[in-house]
Structure 1
Amino acid sequence: MSMADNTQAQASELKKLLALGKARGYLTYAEINDHLSSDVGTEQIEDIVSMINDMGINVYDNPPDADELLLSEDNVTEEAVEDAAAVLSAVDTEGRTTDPVRMYMREMGTVELLSREGEIIIAKRIEAGQLMVLNTLLDFPTTVERIFERHASAVAGDYKFPNLIAGLTDSGEADPAPAAAAAAAAAAAKAGKNPTIIPKPAPKKDDEEEDTGPDWEHIGGILTESEKLYRTYTKELAKKTPSEKLLNSKQLAFKEEISKLRFSPKLIDELAQLLRVHVGEIRAQEQVIMRCCIDTAKMPRKEFISRFPGNETDESWAEKEARRRQPYCEKLKGQVEEIQRA
């Protein structure tokens, strides 16, 4: 007999048992045990008995007397019998229920709740992942230019700042220099040096609400400075013989400045989609090159895989390969222009 047939037969037997309990008004523990697997644990039996009691069927160690039965109410419906039989039949051979709800409730108690330390660890991992994503996006010129385009649109009023920036990172908070200067002045005054008058902040009116929103002027300044740093980086990159040391330092300065900002999820999704589109276009052109070399010129696949990576941007790669003394080189000469177009 298959497992499905066995489960159906068990449900049928349990339905008969519950129907008997409905008709008599009671069941005994012995009758229930006879219809359950011998591996069912004590806790599971208690749950089953509790469910049968909830149906209005009392469970006894021994059959009750007639007077006691007269006091019990017969309010068990056919629907309740059907539901209970389905749940009771969902007990596997190892005595553990396979009913999804009961399985969830059972497993929920075995999983330890997340502690404060655990929350902090997860939050740090999420932040690290977000920084990795941002770092990748900042390596791609098109996505960087899109950030500056969105900033210009926001300044012009054509794009909402909250759609661009979600806030500041810890390193991007407003300059604390005024507060530090006030503290230094207070210390100097206490020591009798330069008795500077320290202005007290104006008291807030009762109806004046504290502005806890983002400082868009400060954020705009970070974006403007980031664009200046990026332009100096691209200017160095455009040189005929750029200095690698200067390139690295300028790119690092740009990334450190712009990383003070937390970009909105909407913008991150937009930038990621932009990157996916360009990667897809690159992959399509790589497929064209691969077909020219492998399918048309008959270059062995292993040869292509070993020689092409690292030369994706070298327009002279196909010409160099065609000059090699290999059986496929003559045919490859006819594919050089197509490969260079790709």
Structure 2
Amino acid sequence: MGRKPKVEDVKQLIDIGKEKGFLTYDEVNDILSPDIVSPDQIDELMMMFGEMDIEIVDSSQNVKLVKHKVDKLEEPEEEESLIEKDLFGKVNDPVRMYLKEMGSVSLLSREEEVEIAKRIEEGEREILQVVLNSPLIIQELFGLAD
């Protein structure tokens, strides 16, 4: 198992995330290397970032920058205790984590859904055609009929 992440490292990630409104996976990996943090702690960090409205993205090139509103900043002592509580207090709620992740995924438009459905139907037809043209399958079907 990995060691616990340093509070300073997590604060650095939060500062970067609040400044830009997002973090990239590369930034998180650079600051918190895998030998320092366990997978459970990384999941807790991701949930904490989500609660702070800091999105984790693949790359900064894919992010559309949106004006980030901050109503008020927390006091540094409160923020540090929140970090420590979230990192080291075992709060495992898979349903909550799943719903947060699902909320960050963009939905398909109607046209995109129709296009994907047509591609699926075409693929199913192709598979059925290949299966029905197989001599082995034809023999099996005749064998079942007997």
> Normalising by the residue count of structure 1, what TM-score does the alignment of the two structures yield?
0.21
Greater relative contact order: 1 or 2 (C-alpha under 8 angstroms, separation 6 or more)? Answer: 2
> Normalising by the residue count of structure 2, what TM-score does the alignment of the two structures yield?
0.44
